[in-house]
Amino acid sequence: MSLFQRKQSKTIAAPLSAAMRLRVLLIIGVILLPHALHQPPQISLWIALGFGWQFLHLKQRLPAPPRLLLVLLMLGGMALVWASQSTLIGRDGGVSFILMLTALKLLEARNLRDARMVVLLGLFLLFTLFLFDQSPFTALWSLLSFALLVSLFNELSHNAEPRPLGTSLQSSLQPLLWSLPLAVVLFIIVPRPSAPLFGLPQTSQATTGLSDELEPGSISQLSRSPELAFRASFNDREPQRNQLYWRGPVFWGYDGQRWERLPPEFALLSDEQRTRRVQTQGTPLEYSLMLEPTHGTILPALDRPLSAPSGANILGDHSLRFRLPQDARQIIQLKSDPEAKLDLELPAPLRRLSLAMPAADNPLLQDLGASWRTLPPLERTQRALEHFRTQAFSYTLEPPLLSEQDGMDDFLFNTRAGFCEHYATSFVLLMRAAGLPARVVTGYLGGERHPQGYWIVRQGDAHAWAEVWLDGQGWVRIDPTASVAPDRIEGGAAAAVPTATEQLPGALRRDFGVLHRARLHWDGLENRWNRWVLGFDASDQQKLLQALGWVGNQNLRLWGLVVLSLALSLIAIKLVQHWRAQPKRSPQQRVWLAFLKQLRQRGVEIIPSESPRALLQRLHRQRPELAPLAAEFTEHYLRWCYADAAADAQTQARQALAQLKKQAKP
């Protein structure tokens, strides 16, 4: 092992002071804090206990954990991760496992090597935070955390005791600020792929959202969820508030308990079928949806969508579906015509599906619907809505349990209290009993208009309504909930059930208080971040480059050279600044250091406090073959440093050094 290697080994194995270890603990704690939002509570508690033990140990209130205990803690942590995540790899299990290992490494960190390893783990965990969340808060937190890690690495490399945090941060923020302009330019001009460079595995946790099955309670469970479903921005004009029906899954088959979607043989619409079965009534509305990841294929769209975007299909029931599950936030451009007429001619197979119902279930409902069969079709729908208005029905977030056999009879003639899926289901069954084709449509109703001009639609805005097929009109939307709770159409669940407002999350109350205004300000910031940073795709890049006049191979090459020159200039400036910051050495010092370098390369141990004559005496004893040239150099070097008239000493010292360089190395 060379002298340099031995010296480096001694340095990285040197023990850290308690103050430096405390600095490491606190900064890594800042890095890991946001991960608690994405980890099971038991794992977060396990990590917090590890941090607490190390903190109390540094305060001399607890002993250092013995190695056997560390091994047992590691095995217990692995078991905890496996029990919580069912795996030790992938996004969820892998990150939990690395968090646990980082906490253990902090418990045993004693020297510089351990501290550097913890810093590297912190950098990696900083990156993994973006696997869970890409909000502006995460970006800002990560930027500040990165500055803290850089300052910590500098402290570990140059100081035995940590400097004040402000002083340390100042030295680390400067290079980061220097790099920001270059990062912005690269963000704009670097080619952007049409798809991510790598995909993320699906999370093992359940995702809130619309389902491919509908049964009592499906929508009411969503009514309490403040999770964002999507944001909608209309290009030129907006629909009326009562037209904000966002179409999702459509249900046809009913087995007495749950609804099912259209069979696969009727699922897809060709372009020719879509043109024939959809008659637009005016100028379509153009809009964009910023969809949150759902890990599913449901694509909500303003009723009624006219086409499917790339990667999606329009189905036979005029709903949209992605071909593959969507695991990332994306922006979709769509067109809809809320007044369009659908299926003026209803094929016989679809007519049979939209009239089918269990013959033995809900006899009272079937009798009521059958009593309207002799009436004109439109009047049959009015009789059902009148029944809801006049029979003391109520809209509630907590509907009572219904009987399993004849649940809709129980609802219509006994409890008379339900959520939107109860009204949609009972209305569709009444229409089928009355001889009218009908189906249930689920999706979202309304939303909240942001002052910046876009609509915020949350999972709590989930809704169910009915469509009835009428001769000459096609499928007509009828919302029976409006007969019972008209405020639900205009103001959401909170407006429909004001007495239950306290049961809803704050984001769904829309009380226009201080907290609500703060939420809107934050949502506006997040919307801009998602649209202009996370959603900055190849199309946006092309538009921006065109606006800047950078489009074209010649221009791109030119601007590429400009960016490269800018980067090289910044690097050169920093190198010059670094060189100027180095301590100035005299010619004698530079020659002496070159002499020591030659000895070190020949295996001679260099002792920093050793004088030139003491070094020469040691060479006579240990390396006599080097002593003659070393003696000649030392004589001329000392004359150069200390003699009054030593004009030739510099030349002779350099000549002796040159002869030493020519001597063969062992």
* More confident call, 43 vs 272: 43
Sign of the CA dihedral running 421, 422, 424, 428: positive
Among candidate residues 145, 119, 131, the one with its CA nearest the CA of residue 37: 131
Give the separation between CA 332 and CA 590, rounded to whole angstroms. 66
Question: What integer is the mean pLDDT of 101-130?
Answer: 90
Could you give the CA distance from residue 462 to residue 477 in angstroms, rounded to a whole number? 16
Question: What percentage of the chain has pLDDT greater than the value 90?
Answer: 35
Whether 99 contacts 32, CB under 8 Å: yes
Name the percent of the chain lying above pLDDT 70: 85
Instruction: Please give the Cα distance from 389 to 382 (Å, whole number).
Output: 10
Q: Are 663 and 629 in contact (CB under 8 A)?
A: yes
Distance, in Å, from the CA atom of 437 to the CA atom of 474, rounded to the nearest integer, reads 10
> 144 and 230 share a domain?
no
Per-residue model confidence (pLDDT) at position 664: 58
532, part of any domain: no
Report helix angle 165-189 to 538-548, nearest 10: 80
Claim to verify: residue 159 and residue 226 sit in the same structural domain: no
Q: Considering the domain boundaries, does residue 185 fall inside one?
A: no
Query: Is position 208 within any domain?
Result: no
Q: What is the mean pLDDT of the chain?
A: 83
What are the pLDDT digits (tens) for 16-51? 888 888 999 999 999 999 999 999 999 999 999 999
More confident residue, 114 or 503: 114
In angstroms, the Cα distances linking 64 to 28, 29, 55, 134 are 19, 19, 10, 38
Q: How many domains does the chain have?
A: 3
Residue 118 resides in a domain: yes
pLDDT in tens, 518-574: 888 888 888 888 888 887 777 777 777 777 766 655 565 666 667 677 777 777 777
For residue 12, the model assigns a pLDDT of 55
pLDDT at 4: 34
In terms of Cα–Cα distance, which of 11, 17, 26 is closest to 151?
26
Shared domain for 250 and 142, answered yes or no, is no
Residues 431, 453: contact at Cβ < 8 Å? Answer: no
Residue-level pLDDT at 493: 57
pLDDT at 199: 47
411 within a domain of the structure (yes/no): no
Q: Which of 303, 461, 479, 523 is catalytic?
A: 479
Higher per-residue pLDDT: 608 or 141: 141
Res 204 pLDDT > 50: no
**pLDDT tens digits, one per residue of 569-589:** 777 777 777 676 666 778 888
Q: Return the pLDDT at 3.
A: 33
Phi and psi torsions of 464, nearest 5°: -135, 140
**Does the residue 39 lie in any domain?**
yes
Q: Which run of H or E residues covers position 653?
A: helix 649-662
Q: What is the 3-state secondary structure (H, E, C) of 575-592?
A: HHHHHHHCCCCCHHHHHH
How many CA atoms are closer than 13 Å to the CA of 415, on its beta-carbon side?
19
Reply yes or no on whether 479 is catalytic. yes
Same-domain pairing of 309 and 452: yes
Q: Please tell me which residue in 35, 318, 463, 636 is annotated as part of the active site.
A: 463
Residue of 179, 119, 181 whose CA lies nearest to 151: 119
The domain boundary residue, chosen from 163, 190, 206: 163
Residues 25 and 147 in one domain: yes
What does the pLDDT look like over 358-398, one tens digit per residue?
A: 888 899 999 999 999 999 999 999 999 999 999 989 988 88
Residue 551, domain member (yes or no): no
Pick the catalytic residue from 420, 422, 461, 523. Answer: 420
The yes-or-no verdict on residue 225 having pLDDT over 60 is yes
- Per-residue model confidence as pLDDT tens digits over 161-195: 788 888 888 877 877 887 787 788 778 777 666 55
Q: In this predicted model, what pLDDT tens digit does every residue of 298-321 receive, in sequence order?
A: 999 999 999 889 889 888 889 999
Look up residue 281 and give its amino acid: Q
Owning domain of residue 37: 12-163
Dihedral sign for Cα 97, 103, 106, 112, please.
Answer: positive
Of 518, 548, 575, the domain-final residue: 518
pLDDT bucket at 494, cuts 50 / 70 / 90 = low
Average pLDDT of the segment spanning 506-528 = 76
The yes-or-no answer on residue 463 being catalytic is yes
Say whether both 97 and 222 belong to one domain.
no
What pLDDT, on the 0 to 100 scale, is given for residue 369? 95
Model-level pTM? 0.71
Residue 56 and residue 61: Cα distance in Å, rounded? 5
Residues 605 and 483 in one domain: no
Please tell me the predicted confidence (pLDDT) of residue 257: 85
Q: What is the pLDDT confidence band of residue 5, given thresholds at 50, 70 and 90?
A: very low
- Inter-axis angle of helices 136-158 and 514-529, nearest 10: 70
Are 17 and 114 within one domain?
Answer: yes
For 8, 132, 619, the CA distances from 599, given in Å and listed in that order, are 18, 55, 10
245 has pLDDT over 90 = yes
Question: By three-state DSSP, how is residue 320 classified?
Answer: strand
For residue 234, the tally of other CB atoms under 10 A from its CB is: 15
Q: What confidence score (pLDDT) does residue 471 get?
A: 93
Return the bridge partners of 458, or none: 228
Determine the Cα–Cα distance for residues 633 and 636; give it in Å rounded to an integer. Answer: 5
Are residues 151 and 62 both part of a single domain?
Answer: yes
At 644, the pLDDT band (50, 70, 90 cuts) reads: low
Question: Is residue 441 domain-resident?
Answer: yes
Among 129-133, 404-408, 522-526, 645-649, the least confident range? 645-649
> Has residue 280 got a pLDDT over 60?
yes
Rg (CA), the chain: 37
Distances (CA, A) of 456 to 236, 276, 324, 562: 18, 33, 25, 42
Q: Which of 486, 518, 550 is the last residue of a domain?
A: 518
- Please indicate, yes or no, whether residues 610 and 508 belong to a single structural domain of this protein: no
- The verdict on 238 and 141 lying in the same domain is no
Please tell me the least confidently modeled range out of 108-117, 266-275, 284-293, 360-369.
266-275
* Beta-carbon count within 10 A of 192 CB: 14
CA–CA separation, 562 and 438 (whole Å): 64
